[in-house]
Amino acid sequence: MAKELILLDEWLSMFGMRARIALAEKEIEYEYREEDLDNKSQMLLQMNPIHKKIPVLIHNGKPIAESIIIVEYIDEVWKDKAPFLPSDPYQKAQARFWADFVNKKIGDVGGRIWAGKREEIEVAKKELVENLKELEKVLGEKAYFGGDTFGFVDIALIPFHSWFYTYETLGDFKVEIECPKLIAWAKRCNQRESVAKSVAHENEVYDFVLQYRKKLHLD
């Protein structure tokens, strides 16, 4: 299977972490190839010529790009393991909606914190907290976003927990104070082997961001 399945990825990428978690949940063997995003491989450029970004899952020579699409592809192809998406059409649509919300309201806003100028951080921080509170409402008292089962929205969101420390340090706030149920959920997710072995450590992320910001003179 490793020869048939290749993941082009970058270890600190929250989007790449999604693909790794999904593959681990389904217990799928694959070949991992770390990309240097400052010197992208020919394979990456050939397999994702439109966006030229990671992650890219290559299955039997055919590329699948965009992390949420990759997670859904894995779910559809490897059906012998527990599904990520619910079977009910409405619940499935809701899961897709909230995964898209994570991309736009957590990913994009978080990017304005870690890669933004100092004066942009305060505004982005407030937006991020508001958006996390919306997700906490959706989570409610459930163990996972889908109920008792770890699934699609959990996979979409949990990689960002590795970046929370960086957001908090740059923005001078604490997610746990604002969204305690969300942090309890994150701790639950991180106890899963599939998550624990697939996500970057918060200190690795922070060190990378410090170097990035120093390089671009953002502070």
| pLDDT score at 3 | 57
- CB under 8 Å to 90, separation ≥6 — which residues? none
Instruction: Please indicate, yes or no, whether residues 69 and 109 belong to a single structural domain of this protein.
Output: no
Instruction: Please indicate, yes or no, whether residues 54 and 100 belong to a single structural domain of this protein.
Output: no
Whole-model pTM: value is: 0.96
- Residue 11's domain spans which residues? 5-77
Paired sense of beta strands 5-9 and 31-34, if any: parallel
Instruction: Please indicate, yes or no, whether residues 194 and 148 belong to a single structural domain of this protein.
Output: yes
| pLDDT score at 219 | 82
> Are the CB atoms for 77 and 65 separated by under 8 Å?
no
| pLDDT score at 64 | 98
| pLDDT score at 1 | 47
Mean pLDDT per 10-residue run, the chain (219 residues)?
83 98 97 96 97 97 98 96 96 98 97 94 97 98 96 98 98 97 98 98 98 93
> Are the CB atoms for 108 and 92 separated by under 8 Å?
no
